[in-house]
Amino acid sequence: MNEPLSFLSAWLLGFLGSVHCMGMCGGIVGALSLNTKGPNIAIHLSYHLGRISTYAALGFMAGLIGLWLASSHAYMGQLLRVLSGIMLILMGGYILGRTQLLMWFERRGSFVWQKVQPLSKQLMPVRSPKQGLLLGLIWGLLPCGLIYSTLSWSLVAANPLHSAGLMAMFGLGNLPALLSFAAFAGQLNRFKQTPWVRLSLASLIMAFGVWTIAAPWFN
């Protein structure tokens, strides 16, 4: 995989998935503005630093798994590529309400989330960047089909550092929308429910999935 292209693709995937992310993380992002006076950009940025750091750590682990699998079996690299492409296509169908298969993965992830979520409650309300950072580290583990789809995509890199970079770029991609959520929550919520927005988002993510599967035939 060409690294500049894959990093750009990861950023675009995060950016395009921002509409979905606002639904998953919008509530906690809005809560960061409570019990503070005036601008609290430091708290917001520290929260997102924690969230993206968790994504990068998960990507690093995915890269280790991908490297082990790819080195164990000659055909595994191509199999991982196909599976990750299918995950992205399923994510598109999930956004359109056409399939609920990703719910199975989210339920598996909820086992970990149930263990760490009580820790996040102890950090609320957030009054300092340190609390925001710790909260972001925890909320990076929130069960999310888009995160799992991107993680499966990062497996294909079979390189821990590269996979960590992919997940970090994914997190940076949805940063602009999440930073603006607190100020424009109502408008953004109506926007993300617009049928053409959901269709466009789903179509582009599914296109990423098809590209992931088909790319080797164009090299």
pLDDT for residue 185 is more than 60: no
Q: Quick check: 126 and 45 in contact, CB under 8 A?
A: no
pLDDT at res. 27: 63
- Cβ neighbours for 166, distance < 8 A, ≥ 6 positions apart: 6, 7, 10, 59, 150, 153, 154, 157
Residue 198 predicted with pLDDT over 80: no
Domain presence at residue 137: yes
What span, in angstroms and rounded, lies between the C-alpha atoms of 122 and 110? 19
Q: Is residue 46 part of a domain?
A: yes
The answer to whether position 90 is within a domain reads: yes
pLDDT of residue 2: 45
* Total count of domains within the chain: 1
Contact between 10 and 167 under an 8 Å Cβ cutoff? The reply is: yes
Within-domain flag for 219: no
pLDDT in tens, 58-104: 999 999 998 998 888 777 878 888 888 888 888 888 777 777 777 77
Are 18 and 176 a contacting pair, CB within 8 Å?
yes
User: Does some domain include residue 169?
Assistant: yes
Candidates 92, 69, 98, 93; CA nearest to 81 is 69
Query: How confident is the model at residue 3, as a pLDDT?
Result: 47
Q: 159 is in which domain, residue-wise?
A: 3-214
Residue 169 is predicted with a pLDDT of 94
Mean per-residue pLDDT of the chain: 80
Q: Domain for residue 50, yes or no?
A: yes
